[in-house]
Amino acid sequence: MINKIQIKECCGCTACKSICPQNAIQMKQNKEGFFYPVINENNCIECGFCTKVCQKTIKTSSNYPIETYAAFSKNEKIRSISSSGGIFGSIADYYLKNGYLVYGARFNESFEVIHAKVNKDVESFYGSKYVQSNLENVYISIKNELKDGKKILFIGTPCQVLGLNNFLKQKNCNKENLLLLDFICHGVPSPLILKNYLLELEKKYNSKIRKVSFRNKTYGWNLFSLKIEFYNNNTYIKNLKEDAYLQGFLKNLTLGESCYKCKANNFRSNSDITLGDYWGVEKFLKDYNYNDDKGVSLLLINTLKGKKLINILSNKIVKKDINLQDAIKYNPCIIKSVKRNKKRNKFFNDINNKKISVTSLMKFYTQITFKEKITKHMKQTIKNMLEG
């Protein structure tokens, strides 16, 4: 039974909710703010479909890339407002111009991140959203539209793509017209943390928020920033080293329990294309085009279907063959999970303390102690000696 799956093993992909013939499963936020399946046992008929699609119970083999590139979009506008090189924007633009459907993550009116069908405002789907998204009934919508012969592009985290694959397989749904994109995932923070963080900023700036950008390039791609614009024309912007929310994310403090033992990384999601930032590009590609701090994508083509699409877009993007192992060296999340922050439990135990702001808690739990500084210094010294 799905209700025996522990919280730390569930990524909240909604496959179990979507497959249930009795509508007995609903996704609700747990005490940490993550979406988690809850069963109405009065409606449950113990059919077992939920366990057949659960990532905990299914062993998945890796679908390693057949081609690996450093890439970026030739469209400067798309590249400038994208997190890295703008490859998703170029792909989405192609799909929409040809009348196909695109599903991705965007903010709703309350600045909660939801998965939805792309509307005319395609730019709202660009860029990273550092929080768990709410999928609602997206898997069911995709299944129905595939049966109607629609061509669809879906982009999500590896676990969301794996969940969709598991769901469609149980539904015996033909995926010929479905292109699956995932991205190199560091993990997903709690929606509750983001909500409280934004509310605290609204209070501080005495205004409602108009726009949120997690990966703003004001200070460049390498030193990306969290930028928040308010209706009273105030602007908050701090880079990844200064902002408390980004620090909580990057130091693995605010992530879901399943992120520390991801079951969909290392190409186990079986996506057609994997995208990500090509951190470390300057180590391997000296060409100016790849080192202009505007953003470079890792473009990992995993299937012939993905290869066919990239060939169609060859005049829209710049790409260069690279070695996968070079990419992994500076992007370890491609193949392995991040380490669990030792302070995570204490942090989440404290978030319900109304006397302390979430901002203050993230700053407190991400600051480096004197002991940690000494340990870090010693490790770097030993590394330098060995390399010297």
Q: For the segment 234-291, what is each residue's pLDDT rounded down to a tens digit? A: 999 999 999 999 999 999 999 999 999 999 999 999 999 999 999 999 999 988 779 9
pLDDT at site 242: 97
By C-alpha distance, which of 186, 168, 164 is closest to 250?
Answer: 186
67 shares a domain with 45: no
C-alpha 160/C-alpha 213 separation (Å) is: 22
216 shares a domain with 105: yes
Percent of the chain with pLDDT over 70: 93
Cα angle at 281 between 280 and 287, to 5 degrees?
A: 150
CATH number, domain of 39, equals 3.30.70.20
pLDDT at site 68: 97
pLDDT at site 3: 62
Query: What is the edge-to-edge ordering of all strands in the sheet holding 225-230?
Result: 209-216, 225-230, 235-239
List, in sequence order, every beta strand (DSSP E) within the chain: 25-29, 35-39, 67-73, 101-107, 113-117, 152-156, 178-183, 209-216, 225-230, 235-239, 273-277, 297-301, 317-321
pTM of the predicted model as reported, rounded to 2 decimal places: 0.93
148 shares a domain with 278: yes
The encoded tokens of residue 230 equal: 């308010």
143 shares a domain with 40: no
Q: For the segment 95-152, what is each residue's pLDDT rounded down to a tens digit? A: 999 999 999 999 999 999 999 999 778 889 999 999 999 999 999 999 999 999 999 9
Q: Which amino acid is at 211?
A: K
Asked if the model's pLDDT at residue 371 lies above 70, the reply is no
To the nearest 5 percent, what fractions of the chain are helix, strand and coil? 40, 20, 40
Q: Name the 3-class secondary structure at 275.
A: strand
37 shares a domain with 134: no
**Confidence grade of residue 336 (pLDDT, cut at 50, 70, 90):** very high
Q: For the segment 52-100, what is each residue's pLDDT rounded down to a tens digit? A: 999 988 888 999 999 999 999 999 999 999 999 999 999 999 999 999 9
218 shares a domain with 90: yes
104 shares a domain with 19: no
Q: For the segment 353-370, what is each residue's pLDDT rounded down to a tens digit? A: 778 999 999 999 999 765
C-alpha 370, offset from chain centre: 32
367 shares a domain with 335: yes
226 shares a domain with 317: yes
pLDDT at site 352: 81
pLDDT at site 5: 63
**Host domain of residue 337:** 60-388
75 shares a domain with 46: no
- Specify the number of domains making up the chain: 2
pLDDT at site 9: 86
248 shares a domain with 219: yes
111 shares a domain with 195: yes
Percent of the chain with pLDDT over 90: 85
C-alpha 266/C-alpha 280 separation (Å) is: 19
Q: Which amino acid is at 293?
A: D
